[in-house]
Amino acid sequence: MATQLATDAPAFAYQTSPTAIDAFTAWLKDNPQALPANTNQWDVSRSDIYVEDRWQPIFAEMRAKAPVNHVAESPYGAYWNVVSHKAIAHVESLPELFSSSWQYGGITIGDPPADVDPAKLAERQLPMFIAMDRPEHTGQRRTVAPAFTPAKMADMEAEIRRRTGDVLDSLPWGEKFDWVDKVSIELTTGMLALLFGFPWADRRLLAFWSDWAGDVELTLARELADTRFAILSQMAHYFQRLWGERMAAPPTGDLISMMIHSEAMNHMSPQEFMGNLVLLIVGGNDTTRNTMSGIVHALDTFPDQRALLEGDPSLIPNTVQECLRFVTPLAHMRRTATADAELFGQSIKTGDKLVLWYLSANRDESVFENPDKLIVNRPNARRHLSFGHGIHRCVGARLAELQLRILLEEMHERRMRVRVTGAVERVRANFVHGFRKLEVELEKR
């Protein structure tokens, strides 16, 4: 097993660097042709429909008329929309036919830029098991899965509860503040720092890196590729240092140490190790963050449901599932056909890109009655596809559920009602689905 990573520390001060979204917005001003006016209503790759929260009727129409349909032209090239619950579960249950592999294009609608030298691309590609097929996927998933067993979750519960309580106790009452910044980012970066044994003072770096690694629209901006690479190299360098420290120390309970000292690590290259760390940071970061914001927004939008929950805290676990359904923190995953196939009456060709819109599956009226309403005691809320389905189903689902449950329990404990009283800004993206800003005030219920 090699232990050396070939990365130099780039001179990057993250506090003064633009966030991924600000850099892309500035770039788009100079390059408006990258997102020309949308002429196809069913081209749902356009982030404006998510930022303006008007995607619901478009997907409802597709579900009714053509649950698998082809979009011939988009800023991301041609792709198939897969929008019903049944069709998405079907595609995800055939991982050999519908590949996740980065060699075919990976797991998001955005392809790597066509004009990048393939050798450079391979060098910049961090191998992550979410973008691998069997058998590689199986072996690597096994390395991190033990960190998320029910027993491990039970070990973490007291610490997560303590940190959640501390964050909630630090909030001002009766005064406007941004829930995304003060609660969602604070809690998710803190939890990841705990999981990785990551230096506490630097925890906000995790959110900064995650945004640059996970923003799919960035693939449209060739000019930002070098900035993105520099930022991710800084992250690699940082983790390289942590890796060195943990290698030298006896095994501890944190995930980095567990991975380094595991048997499977002997078969993993430093790049693969790094790729999997990035996957955990991105996977565990904006997803959980956006659910924490989405829960508050959804309960405020449906005060009757908030009242029901406030009167009966035994509904908290089901509310977590219902909010995961309602929010759908990742709008889509992508697969690529490895052979010609028939899919719900459509002819898919080898190499075709299929975009699985979880956002739509979770509003599928054939599965969820009255799907556009949050219903905290919905009997089948657990059937949501927010964590995906099949061999790639989210490995961190239990941890996410634990954090969300504890957040609601600790809010209940403090008789904390959160009212949205100011600006609501959604994320401008077609992959991550959530909130950039959510101004709220706390009141006692």
Judged by CB, which is closer to ligand HEM: 130, or 260? 130
CA distance 319 to 304: 13
Q: Does residue 333 bind ligand HEM (CB under 6 A)?
A: yes
Judged by CB, which is closer to ligand HEM: 240, or 287? 287
Give me the least distance between CB of 309 and ligand HEM, in Å please. Answer: 19
Q: Does residue 283 bind ligand HEM (CB under 6 A)?
A: yes
Q: Does residue 319 bind ligand HEM (CB under 6 A)?
A: no
Q: Does residue 427 bind ligand HEM (CB under 6 A)?
A: no
Sheet holding 177-178, edge to edge: 177-178, 435-444, 416-426
Q: What residues between 130 and 149 interact with ligand HEM by CB under 6 A?
A: 130, 141
Q: What residues between 369 and 388 interact with ligand HEM by CB under 6 A?
A: 386-388
Q: Does residue 394 bind ligand HEM (CB under 6 A)?
A: yes
Crossing angle of the two packed helices 204-214 and 20-30, in degrees rounded to 10: 40
Q: Determine the size of the site formed for ligand HEM (CB under 6 A).
A: 27
Give me the least distance between CB of 335 and ligand HEM, in Å please. Answer: 8
Which stretch, 213-221, 257-265, 278-286, 293-301, contacts ligand HEM (CB under 6 A)?
278-286
Q: Does residue 239 bind ligand HEM (CB under 6 A)?
A: no
Q: What is the 3-state secondary structure (H, E, C) of 399-428?
A: HHHHHHHHHHHHHHHCCEEEEEEEEEEECC
CA distance 168 to 411: 8
User: Are 391 and 95 in contact, with CB atoms under 8 Å apart?
Assistant: yes
Q: What residues between 95 and 124 interact with ligand HEM by CB under 6 A?
A: 107
Q: Does residue 180 bind ligand HEM (CB under 6 A)?
A: no
Judged by CB, which is closer to ligand HEM: 227, or 257? 257
Q: Does residue 213 bind ligand HEM (CB under 6 A)?
A: no
Crossing angle of the two packed helices 270-301 and 186-196, in degrees rounded to 10: 150
**For residue 388, is it left (φ>0), alpha (ψ between -120 and 50) or beta?**
left
Nearest to 441 by CA among 420, 415, 416: 420
Residue bearing tokens 């072996």: 139
3-state helix, strand, coil in the chain (%, to 5): 55, 10, 35
In the three-class reduction of DSSP (H, G, I as helix; E, B as strand; rest coil), residue 177 is classed as strand
Which stretch, 223-231, 260-268, 279-287, 422-430, contacts ligand HEM (CB under 6 A)?
279-287
Nearest to 225 by CA among 75, 73, 123: 123
Judged by CB, which is closer to ligand HEM: 27, or 59? 59
Judged by CB, which is closer to ligand HEM: 427, or 442? 427
Can you tell me which of 382, 393, 415, 445 binds ligand HEM, judged by CB under 6 A?
Answer: 393
Reported as half-sphere exposure (CB side, CA atoms, 13 A), residue 227 has a value of 19
Q: What binding mask, one character per residue, do residues 61-100 give for ligand HEM by CB under 6 A, x or -?
A: -------------------------------x--------
Mention every residue, 6+ apart, whose C-beta is less than 8 A from residue 236.
5, 7, 274
Give me the least distance between CB of 281 and ligand HEM, in Å please. Answer: 8
CA distance 79 to 45: 10
Judged by CB, which is closer to ligand HEM: 371, or 396? 396
User: Are 7 and 237 in contact, with CB atoms under 8 Å apart?
Assistant: yes
Can you tell me which of 110, 270, 284, 371 binds ligand HEM, judged by CB under 6 A?
Answer: 284
Can you tell me which of 246, 363, 392, 417 binds ligand HEM, judged by CB under 6 A?
Answer: 392
Q: Does residue 395 bind ligand HEM (CB under 6 A)?
A: yes
User: Are 358 and 287 in contact, with CB atoms under 8 Å apart?
Assistant: no
Q: Does residue 332 bind ligand HEM (CB under 6 A)?
A: no
Q: Which residues lie near ligand HEM (CB under 6 A)?
A: 92, 107, 129-130, 141, 279-280, 283-284, 287-288, 291, 329-330, 333, 386-390, 392-396, 399-400
